[in-house]
Amino acid sequence: MASSPWEEVLAVQNEGKHELSLQGSYVNTRIEASGLDPCIFKLTGLNLLKIAGTPIETISDDLENVKNLTSLMLENNKLKCLPDSLGKLTSLKFLDISGNRLETLPHTLSHLVNLQSLNANLNQLTSFPDVSNFKQLAYLYISKNKLTSLPEGICDPGLTLLSIIEAGDNEITTLPAEVSNLTHLIKLDVSSNKLSTLPYELSECPKLKELAIKGNNLKDRKLLKLAEHSTKALLNHLGTLLDKERAAAGGGGGKGKKDKKKKGRGNKSEKPEIERDVISVLQFEPDKGLVITAAAEVLAVRQYIVCAIMRNLDFGKSNNLYKRFIQLQTRLHENICEKRQKATIATHDLKLIKGPLLYTAAEPSKMELTPLNKAASTTAEALVKELRDEADALRKEKKRNTFSGIHKYLDLLKGKELYPCLKDLEDDVISFPPITNCEKTRINKLTQDILVEVTSSESLETCKKVMEETLMASLLLGIGSGDEGDAEKAEEAHAEAENEAEATGLAAAPVDTSRMRFPQKLTVEQVKVVDATGNLRVIYPSRVDLQNPAFDVVRNYE
């Protein structure tokens, strides 16, 4: 007699959800008793399926039925193989099969032409399918396997989006010279392999900023020393060796070679064609900096918090810049925060904050707050009940089984005896994650300094990742106040618009300078989080944070 579907599967079916996450001891007990629920593979509307930290060794061929999957997370199981039917999930964008016991991958993996991120770290792979079809691939993680070479097709010129390859701790003996075909490669990690040489052509990867080669037995020991100093120095050295090699072969001398060297990495006299975006980091000042204390009560509820301050913002650059910043937070919650399941972002007007702050947890009936866009205060208990009642009424009215808006996050508090909150010096709640922040510190178009708060029950690294993405997206949005050079360019743009209007006889249209691609700048100040005894938990951004090579970081301290 067939057993009934698992409660998690029924919840997806009955509530019209598009995500299913299975992990934890309760899931493991059922898998050990009777295997994975086959009804999972009848959930054709799923977009995300996560099965993590379980004892499963195989996945059914019926996986192909979940054809709308865009994210498949199978990390830290005991998988020994994957089904060929995996190749039929052609909508997949994110695939994580790390931390398993895989020795090979199905050749049909090459059919996943929409993959953007593939994580196969921590397996026992000795070979890898051809990746030349992955034209959308940006991130490839294959560290800690038994690979003797990079995957076939890795140097295909069509992989124009590939920016990160992590292949450390394998048994790779050589790198292909064609690696220079990867025009957007930013990071290449081949540390702890069996490399004896490096292709000089690595110096021709135009965007390569991080090359990790430590732990290889390179014949040219100078390469290892240079790598310890900087990737730039290493690539310059490889470029010099490449020039010499081509000159010796008779193909690189003369005027052409000189012209090329003028444009090389090491020529400081020539101004770069494109100035880069910059995040300027202000150091935490003990007497002035913002401190947040994480109380013991919150550790069992939602223990991780990371904060930073964005300073000198200017939402007046365009009429809709503030609106776009609010939309940005919504987009981040949907994407990198995985619909707030992984983390939640809150923003506060710094001038309305009285610090130091306390991150704690309180009984729902005793926790008073004034929710965002509300005039009256209420308790967290009453707010959650009100939102649940609204959700039930809305579902009945629309005859749907799904939550909408803020209502869909209510399940994140299910079963919690205490609710997390962030309080100011006056003991007022200014944030109630993951539901809402509060009216007291609400930002507006005139806000110049914003405290960004990221909380999670998953990990500190999750908070840091979300915070970095938030800062980078804010940087690119152009909310940082510009310098004189930016003002001059804006004036030039306005003048050009006026000249065009005069020539055509039409009125000059307003110029939205916030969208112009002259270099953007964002000033970020460190915020410190300590525990109840004053010991440091995290200060952000630290020296190890903001390592994204897509922008430059200037740290205004020694």
Overall average pLDDT of the 227-231 stretch: 80
Report whether CATH 3.30.360.10 matches the domain 1-93. Answer: no
Distance CA(32)–CA(182), nearest Å, equals: 45
Overall average pLDDT of the 101-129 stretch: 94
The residue length of the chain stands at 558
Overall average pLDDT of the 195-206 stretch: 92
Looking at the chain, the whole-number percentage of residues with pLDDT higher than 70 is: 85
For position 489, what pLDDT does the model report? 52
For position 413, what pLDDT does the model report? 76
Residue 333 or residue 120, greater confidence: 120
Overall average pLDDT of the 326-342 stretch: 88
Among the listed ranges 12-26, 45-59, 462-476, which one has the minimum average pLDDT value? 12-26
Would you identify the CATH topology of the domain 125-263?
Answer: 3.80.10
Exposed, middle or buried by CB within 10 Å (0-12, 13-18, 19+), for 172?
A: buried
Rg (C-alpha) for the chain, rounded Å, is 27
Over 70: is that where the pLDDT of 497 sits?
A: no
Over 90: is that where the pLDDT of 220 sits?
A: no
548: pLDDT confidence band, cut at 50, 70 and 90?
confident
Q: What is the DSSP annotation of 319-339?
A: TTHHHHHHHHHHHHHHTTTTT
Distance CA(470)–CA(523), nearest Å, equals: 13
Beta-bridge partners for 524? 281, 310
Instruction: Spell out a b/e string for 246-256, using b for 16 or more CB atoms within 10 Å of the CB, else e.
Output: beeeeeeeeee
Q: Collapse the DSSP code of 21 into the 3-class scheme (helix H, G, I; strand E, B; otherwise coil) and give the result.
A: strand
Ramachandran region, residue 86 (left: φ > 0; alpha: ψ -120 to 50; beta: rest): alpha
For position 515, what pLDDT does the model report? 41
For position 415, what pLDDT does the model report? 76
Q: What residue ranges do the domains of the chain occupy?
A: 1-93, 125-263, 278-480+520-555
Distance CA(204)–CA(68), nearest Å, equals: 39
CB atoms within 10 A of CB 530: 16
For position 487, what pLDDT does the model report? 46
Q: What is the overall mean pLDDT for the chain?
A: 85
Instruction: Judge if 1-93 and 278-480+520-555 fold alike in CATH terms.
Output: no
For position 255, what pLDDT does the model report? 39
Q: Are 200 and 180 in contact (CB under 8 A)?
A: no
Q: Are 497 and 511 in contact (CB under 8 A)?
A: yes
Over 60: is that where the pLDDT of 224 sits?
A: yes
For position 259, what pLDDT does the model report? 43
Over 70: is that where the pLDDT of 66 sits?
A: yes
Q: 3-class secondary structure for 147-199? A: CCCCCCCCCCCCCCCCCEEECCCCCCCCCCHHHHHCCCCCEEECCCCCCCCCC
Q: In the numeric block, which tokens belong to residue 525?
A: 């100040």
AA letter at 74: L
Residue 2 or residue 5, greater confidence: 5
Over 70: is that where the pLDDT of 200 sits?
A: yes
Over 90: is that where the pLDDT of 477 sits?
A: no
Sign of the dihedral through C-alpha 146, 148, 149, 153: negative
Exposed, middle or buried by CB within 10 Å (0-12, 13-18, 19+), for 326?
A: exposed
Among the listed ranges 177-191, 467-481, 495-509, which one has the minimum average pLDDT value? 495-509
Q: Which residues contact 502 (CB under 8 A, 6 or more apart)?
A: none
Looking at the chain, the whole-number percentage of residues with pLDDT higher than 90 is: 57
For position 290, what pLDDT does the model report? 96
Q: Specify the pairing of strand 450-456 against strand 344-349.
A: antiparallel
For position 492, what pLDDT does the model report? 55
Q: Collapse the DSSP code of 505 into the 3-class scheme (helix H, G, I; strand E, B; otherwise coil) and give the result.
A: coil
For position 531, what pLDDT does the model report? 93
What are 415-461's pLDDT values in tens digits?
A: 789 999 999 999 999 999 989 999 999 999 999 999 999 999 999 99
Q: Which CATH superfamily hosts domain 278-480+520-555?
A: Phenylalanyl-trna Synthetase, Chain B, domain 3 (3.50.40.10)
Over 90: is that where the pLDDT of 312 sits?
A: yes
Over 60: is that where the pLDDT of 136 sits?
A: yes
Find the angle CA(375)-CA(301)-CA(454) to the nearest 5 degrees: 65
For position 191, what pLDDT does the model report? 94
Over 70: is that where the pLDDT of 486 sits?
A: no
CB atoms within 10 A of CB 445: 11
Among the listed ranges 156-170, 330-344, 503-517, which one has the minimum average pLDDT value? 503-517
Overall average pLDDT of the 1-25 stretch: 84
Among the listed ranges 16-25, 55-64, 74-83, 521-530, which one has the minimum average pLDDT value? 16-25
Q: Collapse the DSSP code of 45 into the 3-class scheme (helix H, G, I; strand E, B; otherwise coil) and give the result.
A: coil
What are 253-311's pLDDT values in tens digits?
A: 443 443 444 344 444 344 334 457 899 999 999 989 999 999 999 998 999 999 999 99
Q: Collapse the DSSP code of 388 into the 3-class scheme (helix H, G, I; strand E, B; otherwise coil) and give the result.
A: helix
Over 90: is that where the pLDDT of 392 sits?
A: no
Q: 3-class secondary structure for 434-485? A: CCEEEHHHCCCCCCCCEEEEEEECCCHHHHHHHHHHHHHHHHHHCCECCCHH
Among the listed ranges 475-479, 494-498, 553-557, which one has the minimum average pLDDT value? 494-498
Instruction: Spell out a b/e string for 23-55, using b for 16 or more CB atoms within 10 Å of the CB, else e.
Output: beeebeebbeeeebbebbbebeebebbbbbebe
For position 496, what pLDDT does the model report? 57
Q: Collapse the DSSP code of 262 into the 3-class scheme (helix H, G, I; strand E, B; otherwise coil) and give the result.
A: helix
